[in-house]
Amino acid sequence: MEREMVLVLDFGGQYSQLIARRVRELSVYCEIFPYDISYEEVVEKNPQGIILTGGPASVHVENAPACDHRIFEMNIPVLGICYGMQLLAHALEGVVKGGKHREYGRAQLTVTRDDLLFSGVPQDMQVWMSHGDAVHVLPQGFVQTAATSNCPIAAMCHKDKKLYGVQFHPEVKHTAYGLDILRNFLYEVCGLKGDWKLSDFIAESVADIKAKVGSKKVLCALSGGVDSSVAAVLVHRAVGDQLVCVFVDNGLLRKDEPEQVINTFKGQMHMNLIFADARERFLRRLSGVTEPERKRKIIGEEFIRVFEEEKAKLGDIQYLVQGTIYPDVIESGTHIADTIKSHHNVGGLPEDMDFELLEPLRPLFKDEVRLLGEELGIPSHILWRQPFPGPGLGVRVLEEITEDKLTMLKEADAIVREEISKAGLDREIWQAFAVLPPVRSVGVMGDERTYAHPIIIRAVVSDDAMTAEWARLPYELLDTMSRRIVNEVQGINRVAYDITSKPPGTIEWE
């Protein structure tokens, strides 16, 4: 039996991957492709629906991103979001112009006409806008279905052709009934039943890994974090004792983390784990380096070199397992999206590495990875560890990395995480950590002048790391963390709290 499937055509918008996440959350399988996928490939995929994402371009610029217009004549339901709506209108001879008032952020939407897309949602609702251009004249056969004060055509449809467009972003949490609108497109417009489950993903991944690996050995880059842990258990289910896990201590891990990882995976889970102490070589390679992209690439390359050396000791190993997930991939850049930051396991990989990669979690977001881990029976204390960047504290020391700076940061970071846990906020906070900036400031301690480093505390709430809000931590908690860090960590005399959301910031500082 062929599974239902929706195609998401990516025009490079910051929320593109989030659209796919929401579709899967609604139990519909989807695949993401660049907007320039060929018409023949679309036909071969046989989708039951197509979603056009937002993007940073204007339909009027030279070589504006555009999909094959024959897609709109396939009698397959199409939903254009933001730029996707503008492209749909432009392709079908409507008029798209630059708006007098750019809309960015929350807006009040009014539904102006009964429509399947807005079935069961209030007539007035909050939505999230992010656009300059807008549709000014509808294509022939289309009707307006919603408006805001600055955007008279905020939604449109051609009911007979099942072509729909919304200028706002239903995929983000800031749109109050966004998930209901996407559900209406999938179930009311496309007529889908929703037949995709993570348990299916496990079965398919296991079968794919078995077929690819055969009888060969597999090396797993195990950090002890959520992603690499789930990847290791998934691959172990497929190949069993053919899997060898390597844990590399690069000196950039959190306080006491190496001991915790070894105890959990070797002592409790009885996995075949090799410990590689590479602290000295990593710090030597990073000596004098301050530029963050260079740090990431050095760390990524050095990881691979360590794994290659372990491979040489173990014999014939062709495959390397990594816990790469979707946000890693999209933020490292594609031909339709700018690089935000290179992730050490994507943009930081050396071209000449002697491995073929196995990345079974590559299509998944963090929350999906955790759900997958639950299906695989992984203990909750591992699944609910806070995300930790692959380059580790190397991208939280915002200058040249030294042992002294790492010691200060490790101690301060441990206090932040300990107090978050004491406050019972582990599940509410997506990430909470400390950052060491490249500045020093004057302070007074014990009636003496100090000239020492500040620590920046960063805490965010998020569902998937694609967007994040700064956490509104209680003042009492911030006060406790500040007093403990200044009193207990030598070399720190000031504490600040980062109240920037993503976007415009990122979760990490580098």
Flag whether pLDDT at 80 surpasses 80.
yes
Flag whether pLDDT at 71 surpasses 80.
yes
- Please give the mean pLDDT across all residues of the chain: 89
Flag whether pLDDT at 338 surpasses 50.
no
**Angle, vertex CA 300, rays to CA 378 and CA 332, nearest 5:** 85
First to last CA, the chain: 46
Structure tokens at 13: 């918008």
Q: What number is the average pLDDT over the span 302-313?
A: 86
Peptide bond into 350 cis (omega under 30): no
CA distance 305 to 287: 18
Fold match flag (198-383 vs 396-497): no
> Which of 414, 225, 221 is CA-nearest to residue 308?
221
> Which of 186, 232, 202, 220 is CA-nearest to residue 368?
202
User: From start to end of 44-190, where are the E strands?
Assistant: 49-52, 78-81, 95-111, 124-137, 143-147, 155-158, 163-166
Q: What number is the average pLDDT over the span 445-472?
A: 88
230-258: string of b/e by CB count within 10 Å (b at 16+)? Answer: bbbbbbbbbbeebbbbbbbbbbbbbbebb
DSSP state, 331? Answer: H
- CA 293, 297, 302, 303 torsion: positive or negative? positive
What DSSP line would sit under 223-247, residue for residue? -SSHHHHHHHHHHHHHHGGGEEEEE
pLDDT in tens, 252-306: 999 998 988 888 888 877 778 899 999 999 999 999 999 999 999 999 899 889 8
Structure tokens at 168: 């706002």
The residue extents of the domains of the chain are 6-189, 198-383, 396-497
CATH class of 198-383: alpha beta
Alpha carbons within 13 A on the beta-carbon side of 54: 24
| Active site (annotated) includes residue 93 | no
Q: What number is the average pLDDT over the span 358-382?
A: 86
At the fourth CATH level, the homologous superfamily of domain 6-189 is Class I glutamine amidotransferase (GATase) domain (3.40.50.880)
Peptide bond into 503 cis (omega under 30): yes
Tell me which of 169, 343, 344, 453 is the catalytic residue: 169
Tell me which of 30, 82, 151, 157 is the catalytic residue: 82
**Angle, vertex CA 115, rays to CA 113 and CA 117, nearest 5:** 130
**Angle, vertex CA 421, rays to CA 417 and CA 423, nearest 5:** 120
Highest mean pLDDT among 2-6, 51-55, 271-275, 318-322: 51-55
> 325 by DSSP, 3-state: which?
coil
| Active site (annotated) includes residue 190 | no
The answer to which of 107-116, 156-165, 356-365 has the lowest mean pLDDT is: 356-365
Residue listed under structure tokens 């709506």: 85
Q: What number is the average pLDDT over the span 435-463?
A: 91
pLDDT of 318 reads: 84
In this predicted model, which residue has the larger pLDDT, 225 or 236? Answer: 236
CA distance 96 to 90: 6
422-436: string of b/e by CB count within 10 Å (b at 16+)? Answer: ebebeeebbbbbbbb
How many Å is the Cα radius of gyration of the chain? 25
Residue listed under structure tokens 């390359």: 301
> 419 by DSSP, 3-state: which?
helix
> Which of 118, 120, 98 is CA-nearest to residue 109?
118
DSSP state, 70? Answer: G
What are the counts of helices (DSSP H) followed by strands (DSSP E) for the chain? 14, 19
pLDDT of 340 reads: 41
Q: Count CB atoms within 10 A of the CB of residue 171.
A: 30
Residue listed under structure tokens 């991944």: 205
| Active site (annotated) includes residue 400 | no
Tell me which of 171, 302, 359, 411 is the catalytic residue: 171
Cα dihedral 467→322→416→422 (10° resolution): 100
- CA 183, 205, 349, 31 torsion: positive or negative? negative
Structure tokens at 274: 């090799």
Q: Count CB atoms within 10 A of the CB of residue 169.
A: 24
- pLDDT band of residue 13 (cuts 50, 70, 90) is confident
pLDDT of 350 reads: 54
Q: Are 244 and 272 in contact (CB under 8 A)?
A: yes
pTM for the structure as a whole = 0.67
Residue listed under structure tokens 């930081």: 348
Kind and range of the H or E run holding 260? helix 257-262
- pLDDT band of residue 339 (cuts 50, 70, 90) is very low
Q: What is the CATH number of domain 396-497?
A: 3.30.300.10
CA distance 174 to 106: 7
Most distant CA atoms of the chain, gap in Å: 79
Flag whether pLDDT at 335 surpasses 70.
no
Q: CB-based contacts of 435: which residues, under 8 Å, 6+ apart? A: 396, 398, 409, 455, 456, 457, 458, 498, 509
